[in-house]
Structure 1
Amino acid sequence: MNNKHILVIDAGTTGIRVLIYNERNHILAQAYTEFPNYHPAEDRVEQDANEIWAATQQMMDKALDFLSLRLNDMSCIGITNQRATTVIWDKATGEPVSRAIVWQDTRTASRVEELQPEWAEKVYQRTGWALAPVYSSLSIEWILNNEPGVKERAQRGELAFGTIDSWLVYCLTGGANHVISASNASVTGSYDLTTGQWYEEWLSALDIPLSMFPEVCDDSGEIGRTDERVTGGSVPISGVIADQHAALFAQGCIEPGMAKCTHGTGTFLDLLIGEEPKIDTNSGICCQIAWRHKGKTLYALQGYAGCTGSAIQWLRDGLQIIDSSAESKSVASQVPDNGGVYFVPALTGLSAPYWDPYARGTILGISPGTTRCHIVRATLEGIVYSVRDFITEMQKISGFDIKSIAVDGGASKNNLLVQFQADQLGVDIVRPRNVEATSLGAALMAGLGVGIWKNEKECFAVSRNRQLFKPLIDEATRETQYQTWKLAVERSRKWSKL
């Protein structure tokens, strides 16, 4: 191998970042661009898969040009991606049949209610995920039933389904590979954790042909090669892992009982639990494949709040009380506390452990003395409370006592938010200097896949600088604050159904 450059495609919910890493986990170049999210109705979030692919190509070229390198100068490619977003395309032409339905979309909420009595317990027990609009299987069903002629084409075996990783691998390989990584498969609401196969009984009930589904591959290992006619080079794609799982790995959480929390568009707490899935259908907590490498599968528990970082963006773009997301810290720091204001950031419903797609964002406790500073502070605090809502359940299911949590993602740069997280959860919070953990996780997985590192532990031989935040408040204060939050959550529930 003449070099050890790893190109990473980080396909997020709002944009594409392409990075080039070396074998010491250092970023040598990166390029980023946003792509549109479309909202044709209040409950809909859509993307154009072709726009995502075009943005990916442009950012690959830009990152390579920065170092005056070609694609063939890369040792391998890693991909990490937003999860559960549903793309359906024509197998022959590669043309998407409709816009992609994004994981935040709630158009299938009424369908969830219809299916609840017969299927809720069953699919949760088999897939590890509570029945909710985030299920890719429900998005597939919606597209088949609502886009003219699509169902007939699917039944003829002409169409392919995939999440964004599947779509990018398909495009990069010139249509040669229709795959999905194990981590991504496990968050589609279509994969049976108990059998390690697509959940045929469920898909049959939804009248979704199995022929649409991709082959499930390891998250690390050579999955395919880029098509030189498409990309200008032939390079192995050797790491494909869902974003939260990538961050879990990048934070060095490779032993059961280790946890990380990613603050991005949503906030995700993941706890590695070992080689056996643990599913508790009363908890609202998800069980998923953390990653699969050389056929060995590790599982994790996850609690997530779907709208946290995007609530800060709403303060900027919707309410227009801050000029940038970064400004939230300085504005919130102008007041000593929230002034009695609580913000439940359920702008697109509540995720774990409530799974209420009809909940809506709620600000309570406004008085004549309330200022924008209190609103901004309450938003940051609401992100943390959302995490506390599921950490207790995760500890109960796993049997692990969480003493420390590693944090990453854009909002984790905010010291006020991270300190409040330590205070409210009563645990140590550890933050690396580089909080872009998702792309690093994909780089490590890709490097493992081609032998740059011999094993998982060798990936972390290069130490990362870390900052520690310890709890500073007492248990009584912590509990009083949290009980008030729970009252606020109850006020937000089922709001759009009233």
Structure 2
Amino acid sequence: MSVSFAAIDLGTQSLRISVVNSHGEALWRWSHAVQSRINGPIYEQSPEEWATLLGEALGELGRTGLAPDALAVAAPLAGYIAVDSAGRALTPALMYPDHRTARHIEPVEQAVRTCSGSNPYGLRTTIADPLPHWLRLRDQPALCARTHRLLDATGWLNEYLTGISTINTYTALRLYNSEVRQQLQVPEALFGRTTAIGAVIGALRPALCDRFQLPAVPVISATFDSKCAYIGGGIHETGAGLDISGTVTSFGVVSASVLIDEKRRVYSVPFGRDKFLARGSNASSGGILEWARKELLADSFEAMDALVASTQPTTRSPIFLPYMAGERTPLWNPFATGAILGLSLDQSNRNHLARAIYEGIAFSLCHITETLSECGAKIGSIRLAGGLARSNTLAQIKSDVLGRELIRYSETELTTIGLCIIAGHALKVWRPDEDANAFFLKPDRIFTPDPQNHHIYEQNFRRYTQAITALLPTFKGTDETAA
């Protein structure tokens, strides 16, 4: 007998809800665009809009007559919201590209440096981390006095569903230890109760059950979207790699030990039993393609693919730095900006620019894998997933740039699969020794690198890194960043 799970996946561009059974069959899907306010250093979303959309989705789910056995939620990194004692949002959600916590990174880094043993995984403090958001809140005394909890997007959605404030154990790694928190004067339980992945947070609130005609099912603690996608990606063996490309690109590889990078460009975290996930991610991929489609190139992504396919790689092509939202691995600079270099009259028409943008996204991935390899990661087979994996053109370019075979799954939305696997294990649907991923994942296509193209891309990747080095001195914040 199969059971079913409702997977709630909030992204930067949409809210998606799927009901999937334990055999991997999708029973129902719903999605709706989510609005963002982007202005200089500001990147916000509205928790009130989240609640409205979630209400619409749960209402439709109730009308289907489906009764999932559990719910699980994933959202992007950050999305921090100050909440009062009645559970009301006092602020918009500050999404992960929001730069206004940048000046609060160094005080956290200093506290971590002075507290011995507080950072066993070599984490780097970023603008998306909880403690810089606390320091920014502390600088606003009137707002701080009214704040009862400071919840990330995943925690806020879970509180909406259950009435219980939580922070998942993966995000809580970036709270370091009690000594760091004491130095930074973090109030006890500000971020909610630390809850293990797969633990039951609580039951769906009675008010929501009555309103939407849904059973009081357990809400299972998951984590942020990219980590859920890794859990859903079926990578278990040491050396197995996974490229997840949606709004951002995240790449991880399974390691038998903690990988420590002295420069802290990449990091590793616990991943399953006696394994670790060494990983890095950029700041934007799908967001860049959406910008290019809307503002520059074509009416559809299919049309963009056609523009790219009409050209061939060349060492004279333009080089695109895809830093439209800053950059994470390996630069970790929220002030990095995009650039197109190497323009010429004969190699810079619309088709060439389209290819340069695709190649820039692939070079960004290569920058992550090269950094991981430099730090000792052994990368073997690579799986390909995420919304951008649907593009054969981009997938082939990635294969050519990396010089590696890429195996694409037929189901590219791994966050949903990860949520289902987390919920299923919580309900003990599968045996401990059973590979739950096998019920959800089927290979779709293998992309094989073209040796000639790879040789060209090796030269162009050097041009890419040279361009970064030349422009690094210009990647600085402005007075607006402190707003």
TM-score (norm 2): 0.89
Residue equivalent to 1:225: 203
Q: Is the aligned partner of 1:356 residue 2:350? A: no
Using the TM superposition, give the Cα deviation of residue 239 of structure 1 relative to its aligned residue in structure 2, in angstroms: 4.8
Q: SS at the partner of 1:406?
A: strand
Residue equivalent to 1:419: 396
Distance 1:117 1:79, change over 3 A: closer
Q: Is the aligned partner of 1:435 residue 2:412? A: yes
Amino acid at match of 1:386: S
Residue equivalent to 1:69: 65
- The correspondence for 1:98, drawn from 88, 91, 95, is 91
* Whole-Å separation in 2 of the counterparts to 1:76 and 1:395: 39
Residue equivalent to 1:282: 263
Using the TM superposition, give the Cα deviation of residue 63 of structure 1 relative to its aligned residue in structure 2, in angstroms: 4.1
Using the TM superposition, give the Cα deviation of residue 64 of structure 1 relative to its aligned residue in structure 2, in angstroms: 4.6
* Whole-Å separation in 2 of the counterparts to 1:217 and 1:8: 18
Ranges of 4+ aligned residues in structure 1 off by more than 4 Å? 113-124
Retained in 2: the 8 A contact 1:5–1:23? Answer: yes
Q: Is the aligned partner of 1:483 residue 2:459? A: no
Q: Is the aligned partner of 1:401 residue 2:378? A: yes
Using the TM superposition, give the Cα deviation of residue 396 of structure 1 relative to its aligned residue in structure 2, in angstroms: 4.3
Retained in 2: the 8 A contact 1:321–1:372? Answer: yes
Amino acid at match of 2:459: T
- The correspondence for 1:322, drawn from 291, 298, 302, is 298
Residue equivalent to 2:232: 250
Residue equivalent to 1:34: 33
Residue equivalent to 1:166: 155
Amino acid at match of 2:125: L
| Range that drifts further, 475-484 or 436-445 | 475-484
Using the TM superposition, give the Cα deviation of residue 362 of structure 1 relative to its aligned residue in structure 2, in angstroms: 0.5
* Whole-Å separation in 1 of the counterparts to 2:382 and 2:296: 32
Using the TM superposition, give the Cα deviation of residue 400 of structure 1 relative to its aligned residue in structure 2, in angstroms: 4.3
Q: SS at the partner of 1:340?
A: coil
| Range that drifts further, 121-130 or 100-109 | 121-130
Amino acid at match of 1:425: L
Amino acid at match of 1:477: I
Using the TM superposition, give the Cα deviation of residue 236 of structure 1 relative to its aligned residue in structure 2, in angstroms: 1.0
Distance 1:223 1:115, change over 3 A: closer
TM-score (norm 1): 0.87
* Whole-Å separation in 2 of the counterparts to 1:494 and 1:44: 23
Residue equivalent to 1:196: none
Q: Is the aligned partner of 1:145 residue 2:148? A: no
What CA deviation, in whole Å up to 9, does each residue of 1:128-149 have, x standing for no partner? 3223322221122213313x51
Distance 1:236 1:303, change over 3 A: same
- The correspondence for 1:207, drawn from 180, 185, 192, is 185
Retained in 2: the 8 A contact 1:222–1:450? Answer: no
Retained in 2: the 8 A contact 1:183–1:290? Answer: no
Distance 1:345 1:422, change over 3 A: same
Residue equivalent to 2:472: 493
Q: SS at the partner of 1:7?
A: strand
- The correspondence for 2:170, drawn from 152, 164, 183, is 183
What CA deviation, in whole Å up to 9, does each residue of 1:206-240 have, x standing for no partner? 33323302222221232321112123330012351
* Whole-Å separation in 2 of the counterparts to 1:411 and 1:266: 10
Amino acid at match of 1:490: T
Retained in 2: the 8 A contact 1:341–1:365? Answer: yes
Q: SS at the partner of 2:451?
A: coil
Amino acid at match of 2:5: I
* Whole-Å separation in 1 of the counterparts to 2:126 and 2:241: 24
Amino acid at match of 1:151: C
Retained in 2: the 8 A contact 1:259–1:402? Answer: yes
Q: SS at the partner of 1:378?
A: helix
| Range that drifts further, 73-82 or 432-441 | 73-82
Amino acid at match of 1:483: R
Retained in 1: the 8 A contact 2:421–2:437? Answer: no
**In the comparison of the two structures, how many residue pairs are matched?**
468
Distance 1:119 1:183, change over 3 A: closer
* Whole-Å separation in 2 of the counterparts to 1:205 and 1:417: 46
* Whole-Å separation in 2 of the counterparts to 1:45 and 1:120: 29
What CA deviation, in whole Å up to 9, does each residue of 1:356-411 have, x standing for no partner? 222110011111121111111111111111111121332344x4421221111111
Q: Is the aligned partner of 1:19 residue 2:13? A: no
Q: Equivalent pairs: percent with the same residue?
A: 21
* Whole-Å separation in 1 of the counterparts to 2:286 and 2:72: 25
Unaligned runs of 5+ in 1: 193-198
* Whole-Å separation in 1 of the counterparts to 2:302 and 2:187: 46
